[in-house]
Amino acid sequence: MLPKCPKCNKKIEELRYYERVDNSLWFSVDENGEPNYEGGEIIYDGATDFDFCCPECSETLFTDEEKAIEFLKNKDELQELVKEKINKIKNGKRI
């Protein structure tokens, strides 16, 4: 069983990953007065943001890689646990 997005309730088998990083570039103006961006580097200084989003509704589900991994890894276990609890409730058993 595939996990369901808690926002749109659609079944998903993977998450869309977005990463925002800081870039450091050289900026100048050429002889025609046009802007020029050159070289540079991506700066990983701990200020990087990560979003793991539903591929169906694009809502952010996680900002932590470990939580995203657990969501996808435990998809069957989680679904079975929820089904089991629902059945117990339907049958009037205490949880």
Q: Say yes or no to pLDDT of 14 above 70.
A: yes
The pLDDT of residue 94 is: 63
Taking residues 65-78, report their average pLDDT.
Answer: 80
Q: pLDDT by residue (tens digit) across 27-41?
A: 999 999 999 999 888
The more confidently predicted of residues 82 and 54 is 54
Q: What per-residue confidence (pLDDT) applies to 93? A: 67
- Comparing CA positions, the residue from 1, 65, 51 lying closest to residue 21 is 51
**Strand pairing partners for 72?**
none
pLDDT of 47 higher than 60: no
pLDDT of residue 63: 92
pLDDT for 16 equals 96
